[in-house]
Amino acid sequence: MKSARALSLFMIMIHIGWVFAPSSSVLAEEARAHPNVLLIAVDDLNDWIGCMKGHPQARTPNMDRLAERGVLFTNAHCAAPVCLASRTALFSGRYPDQTRVFSNWGKTKGKPPAKSLQMPLHFSGSGYETLGTGKLYHSASPEFFDDYYDTENRWSPFTQEQARYTDEEQPSKGSANPRHVIKGGPGGHDWALPLNGLPSERNATGKEGESFDWGPVDVNDEEMGDTRVTNWAMTKLEEPRAKPFFLGVGYYRPHIPLFAPQQDFDALPPVEAIELPAHRPNDLEDLGKAGKKFALDPITAGTHKLVADHDQWKQAVRAYLACITYVDRQIGRLISKLEASPHADNTWIILFSDHGWQLGEKQHWGKWTGWRASTRIPLIIVPPANFQAAHGQICAEPVSLMDLYPSLIEVCHLNEKKSIVGQSLVPLLMKPEKATGRAVVTAFDPGNHSLSTRDWRYLRYDNNEEELYDIQADPHEWHNLASDPSYQTKLLELRKSLDEELEKIRTTDTP
């Protein structure tokens, strides 16, 4: 009798468990509804990755494998070709023309957008655990970074604080033989900077270190900042998670100074065999005054004349490629850890750059211009295994970094935010070949904009100078067609399109 009662009680308890405990299918459905997000940001990365064919000597097997697993957007553009403005726009869902944040150094009077807009906060308020490391927000906005993430600081092998010239060294800085020594630097070595031996153009009268520098550094991987960033993120992927996670990983390289471990230089051809980017010596002749100023202004790096006069162009290109190779190795380690984790089948992977970078095209070094080499970025989106989307395909439609926020809201089933701009990329993830007829805007300083469509690019400066390029026939933007009578209809069409896009941006509801 007792055994019968015990059996009956046991059956009742099992029944109660079936009623109140979620089944494995319910848990699986919940996981699918709220997948994890691994957001990988690479600073100053242009199209010099293998799958984009931007440079024939690029070595990026890990980024290329990601492209084979998802969708590669080959016509993606930033909201602004400078770190703070691009990242502010991406994480707030608001364009520079809305926030007035156009630059890094207070050139404009914009203020950080409301915290209620920020992407990580929207995720954390929706039940996600938000984690981040490295360069996600710009260093000028630590309040966002510290408030929204369980973070580790970003690391770099040489910082401006480390690279300060002494009173005795400072006079050499702008000379033909600059020399600054860091005692007991990375690896326990004394480091003589700049590695490339170039004199400073922008900061010749100050004591701070010059970042327009490149060369191999004799350090272990673990002494490189981006390696530490990767290590920290890998430990987070190993840990059990009670909630879905949003993990941001921001890589600093290939931002200047272009320092990378020797092994990444050794993976490339020797200097004499390095191929220069496509360029034309007379490329500025068909530009107006404003375009030439943007081309020749060394505000983000150095001048082409300095590089050419010191015969350093190939060395700089090789160093940029080496930095990309180094970052690609770190991305490979990170993805391998994800694939070996319990989160492998339910995590979205988004890899992007905040803007491009020019290495002598149009005699410009750096970013902060409206040309394609500065605004166009790699964007790779890899869906989870259970999401029915395209794999290993290319989308050539124009898209914007501003589209990431609404896209993640959709695939992670978060509440809509009506005040953010951009369009969900989910339809293009399903059908990358779908024509959209879209045009996307990039702002480079107040009143300066570029417009990107499937086949054309249009630039307009604050003095109303214009440039027009047929990208299918002229991908390097060598032939400005704005004054050609044969293209006036197209010019008027794109001029109107830019005005319409700017009007949409400016009239979006303010939160």
**Average pLDDT of the segment spanning 379-395:** 94
Flag whether the pTM goes above 0.85. Answer: yes
- Residues contacting 141, CB < 8 A, separation 6+: 84, 87, 88, 112
Are 145 and 253 contained in the same domain? yes
The whole-number average pLDDT for the span 234-238 is 95
Q: What is the mean pLDDT of the chain?
A: 88
Q: How many residues are recorded in the chain?
A: 511
- State pLDDT tens for residues 16-29: 233 333 434 444 45
Q: Using 50, 70 and 90 to split pLDDT, how confident is the model at 109?
A: low
Average pLDDT over residues 122-142: 82
pLDDT given at position 418: 85
Say how many domains are in the chain: 2
254 cis-preceded (ω within 30 degrees of 0): yes
> Is 239 inside a domain boundary?
yes
User: Is a pLDDT exceeding 90 seen at residue 442?
Assistant: yes
Which of 134-148, 181-195, 358-372 ranks highest by mean pLDDT?
Answer: 358-372
More confident residue, 138 or 144: 138
Cα-Cα end-to-end distance for the chain: 69
**For 358-380, what is each residue's pLDDT tens digit?**
999 999 999 999 999 999 999 99
Span 432-440, average pLDDT: 97
Last residue of a domain, one of 404, 425, 446: 425
CB atoms within 10 A of CB 392: 13
201 shares its domain with 350: no
In a domain? residue 475: no
With respect to residue 297, please indicate whether it lies within any of the assigned structural domains.
yes
Q: What is the average per-residue pLDDT within 90-119?
A: 82
Same domain, yes or no, for 187 and 277?
no
Query: Domain for residue 78, yes or no?
Result: yes
Q: Are residues 355 and 263 in the same domain?
A: yes
Q: Do the domain assignments include residue 250?
A: yes
Could you say which of 369, 397, 425 is where a domain stops?
Answer: 425
Same domain? For 196 and 340 the reply is no
Q: What percent of the chain has pLDDT over 70?
A: 87
Same domain as 86, residue 173: no
Same domain (yes/no): 371, 257: yes
Please check the confidence at residue 210 and state whether its pLDDT lies above 90.
no
Count of alpha carbons within 13 angstroms of residue 228, beta-carbon side: 15
* Full residue range of the structural domain in which residue 169 is found: 161-210
Please tell me the least confidently modeled range out of 38-52, 344-358, 378-392. Answer: 378-392
46 belongs to a structural domain: yes
Query: Do residues 260 and 354 both lie within one domain?
Result: yes
pLDDT tens digit string along 313-328? 999 999 999 999 999 9
> Residues 462-471: contacts with CB within 8 Å, 24+ apart?
462/290, 463/288, 463/289, 463/290, 465/287, 465/288, 465/289, 465/290, 465/291, 466/491, 466/495, 467/287, 467/291, 467/370, 468/494, 469/372, 471/372
Q: DSSP assignment of 79-99, as one string?
A: SSSSHHHHHHHHHHT--HHHH
Of the candidates 177, 210, 243, which is a domain's last residue? 210
Q: Is 233 inside a domain boundary?
A: yes
Per the CB < 8 A criterion, the answer to whether 224 and 208 are in contact is: no
- 165 and 153 share a domain? no
Range with the poorest average pLDDT among 66-75, 80-89, 150-159, 404-413: 150-159
The domain that holds 76 is classified in CATH as: 3.40.720.10
Same domain, 41 and 150: yes
Residue 382 sits in the same domain as residue 394: yes
Residue 458 lies in a domain: no
Q: What pLDDT is recorded for position 10? A: 31
Same domain, 180 and 143: no
